[in-house]
Structure formats: structure tokens, C-alpha cells
Amino acid sequence: MEFKFGELFCGPGGLALGAVRASVESSGQSYSISHTWANDFDSDSCETYRQNICPHSPRSVICRDVRQLDLSSLGPIDALAFGFPCNDFSVVGEKKGMDGVYGPLYSYGVQALRHFRPMWFFAENVGGLRSANDGRAFQTILEELNHAGYTITPHLYRFEEYNVPQNRHRIIIIGIRSDIDIQFRVPAPSLSPFKTCREALEEPPISPDASNNERTKQSAHVIERLKYINPGENVFTADVPQRLRINVKGANISQIYKRLDPNKPSYTVTGSGGGGTHVYHWNENRALTNRERARLQTFPDDFMFSGSKESVRKQIGMALPPRGAQTIFEAVLSCFAGVEYPRIAPNISFRGDTVPGRSRQLAILEKERDYAGAV
């Protein structure tokens, strides 16, 4: 059985790579996922997706603002994924939640669910989604996904527990159409030890001619500062001379100029930020290259990113780790195949017994109109 797969807010294709690599065998039958169409507004991300996920059908990736996307022009699908923009839900930033520019964009995933009626969906966002607008935003999103006709299972995945060499925590919501008598079970973490960042970057070594592997030119000042920072420390916790310190109040637990600890998973790779946020090697006095960051995100070395160096950094930092996504997709396939697998109880509870009020719906529509004027 092959599930036709559509994706909104697709980014460079981390989630999609996990999907197309997922497969399950049961009683002589194969269960898999195939790309049908995808959408994103960022041109570099779309080109990266085309080259790596669907090189033989580049027109299946529609580079357009989701509000201008004609759903009726897209082919039918059995499964939908949408990692809706997390800018307003991240714990890093202004935390505007549903009151921000991007917060209401999840509603286009709900529209797609109502239009296509896929058998199942995979929605993703940052852990900060739970606390946005005092928890009301998350509850609203869960309710709307549920009332679109799906039995939902939200869970906060800690991807370092799933063989990803990075402390990356994301809320994944799996929904199965309510008329299908299948219940999704959260896959259990791996029993093997955490994969370290040293293993990720050195086993095997990155080829000198690997794509997206240009080094950042570090200033003499930054190089000197890094010499005082030990593995696992940042510029605030290390014994750095006063002349090399950064005077930022309340940031002593920051990841600014933080070196990796080679014996642990990496800290979270991000897609944006100024100096000191590029992730720093544990031994060499430099920031990681984009290819090294891609390895921490479990992208294979033959996955080539399009765009400028900063654009590639953003694409890598915003993506879902393909290896973690594949684990979850294979759990979904196993549920449909009737295959047992180690599982755990979800760590987020939801009762689908309320309907968002009309005032909330009006607020969302008004925010969408504000976003339209800002684009």
C-alpha cells in the first residue's frame, strides 16, 4: 500500500525525506509513502526540495504563499503533512503565539484536511507551542484538528532519544481520520545510547569536496574568545577575560558562543541569529559548516541545499531531522499494516470535547488579513 503524500510549509524537505524513506513490510505487502505535491513560499527551500525529493517532477513543488494556494488545483492525497511556521510559538523570540503574524497559519492545514480528507496527517511545531497565549493557542489548534474529523495523538518528541545527535524537541501531532478504526501509538525511544555529535561529524569524516561545506571566516577576536571556552561551555559560563566578554544581562544560560560537548548530542541547531549562534566546534576555534550542521540534523551528505550560505543555514535550522521523522512515519505505517512495535504513552493529553468559539475564529481571520497586508 502506497500513501500519496502532500505537504504544506515543506521547507527544504527534511520531513519529506523521512517520509519517502519510511517503509514497513507485513504479510508480503509493502507499506510506503510517495511524494505527490508540496508547497512553501521560500524559493531556495523549494529548489532544495525539488532537487532532493522530486527531481523528476519539479512542478509538483508550488512556490507560493499558502494563502494564495488553490487547493482544488492539487491532486488527491492519502496523507498530509504540515510543519506550520513556528516563529510566533518558539521560546526564542517575542512569543506572540496566535497574536503574531505566523501563529494563525496552522488554519490552512485544517482547510487542507477538510478539502482532501486524507486518511492521516502529520503536523509539527516547536515545544513552545504549548505555552503560547497561556496555553490557549495549543488547545485551539488541537480542537480544530480534532473537529476536522480526526482522532489525534499529540506528543513532545525528544529527538536525541531517537538516534538524532541533537537535543531537539518538537511537538508532533498524528491524526487518523475518525472513520478509520486504527489508533496511532507513540513509538518508544531507542534503547541504544545517545548518538554524540562527535560520532555524527567524524564517523565517517566529511569529504573535503562535500557540498555546503564552506567554512565561516572567523575574526581574530572571535578566535581568541573561543580559546578560553571549553567543550560544553558558552561565553557566559567560561572563564573569559573581561575584554572578550559579552555584556548581555540575563543570558548566562545562553547558547551564545557555546562549544559542543563531543561526548553528548549537540544542542539545538537554529536557523537564524547573529554572531555567536552558529554552533561551535569542541576543539577547533570555529563555527560549524552548514554540512556539519546538516549532519547534526541527520541529512545525508548527498542532500544538496540551494541558495546562499545564510539561506542554507536557515533551511537546515528550520527543518525536521529526517531520521526522527522516519521513525514516526514508520510507526504510522506499522499501525496501518497491523505490525506491533515498542511504544509509550503520549506525554500530552487531549480531550476532544470542546469547540473553539466564534470569537476565536474571527480573531484568526483578522490576523490572516493583517498578515496579508504585511507580505
- Domains of the chain with CATH codes: 2-193+320-374 (3.40.50.150)
Q: Tell me, what's the pLDDT at 254?
A: 81
DSSP 205: T
Rounded to whole angstroms, the Cα distance separating 56 from 53 reads 9
Q: Are 15 and 7 in contact, with CB atoms under 8 Å apart? A: yes
Q: 339: which 3 cell numbers?
A: 505490525
Give the pLDDT score at 128. Answer: 72
pLDDT for 352 equals 66
Least Cα distance to 140 among 347, 355, 349 occurs for 355
Contact assessment for residue 345 and residue 188, using Cβ atoms and an 8 Å cutoff: no
Q: Tell me, what's the pLDDT at 134?
A: 62
Q: How far apart are CA 334 and CA 276, in angstroms?
A: 42
pLDDT at position 90? 41
Which of 32, 43, 37 lies closest to 7, judged by CA? 37
Q: Which amino acid is at 316?
A: I
Q: Give the SS3 label for residue 223.
A: helix
Instruction: Check: CB of residue 189 under 8 Å from CB of residue 162.
Output: yes
Q: Summarize the chain as % helix, strand, coil (round to 5).
A: 35, 15, 45
Q: What is the per-residue pLDDT for 250?
A: 57
User: For position 131, what pLDDT does the model report?
Assistant: 67
Q: Which three cell numbers stand for residue 119?
A: 486518511
Report how far residue 78's alpha carbon sits from residue 117's, in angstroms, rounded to the nearest whole number. 8
DSSP 145: H
Give how far the C-alpha of residue 130 lies from the chain's centroid of Cα atoms, to the nearest Å: 16
What sign for the dihedral angle of Cα 33, 39, 45, 50? Answer: positive
Query: Among residues 10, 46, 54, 86, which one is catalytic?
Result: 86
Query: Are 193 and 351 in contact, with CB atoms under 8 Å apart?
Result: no
Beta strands in 181-319 (DSSP E): 186-187
Find cell 503560547 and name the residue.
132
In this prediction, residue 244 carries a pLDDT of 94
Counted residue by residue, the chain has a size of: 375
- Give SS3 for 60: helix
One pLDDT digit (tens) per residue for the chain, 375 residues? 999 999 999 999 999 999 999 999 999 999 999 999 999 999 999 999 999 999 999 999 999 999 899 999 999 999 999 987 644 334 444 444 334 434 467 888 999 999 999 999 999 987 777 666 666 778 888 998 999 999 999 999 999 999 999 999 999 999 999 999 999 999 999 988 999 999 999 999 999 899 999 998 899 999 999 999 999 999 999 999 999 998 776 555 688 999 999 999 999 999 887 778 999 999 999 999 999 999 999 999 999 999 999 999 999 999 999 999 999 999 999 999 999 999 999 999 887 643 344 334 434 444 443 434 433
Looking at residue 253, its pLDDT comes to: 61
Catalytic-residue membership of 54: no
- pLDDT computed for residue 132 by the predictor: 63
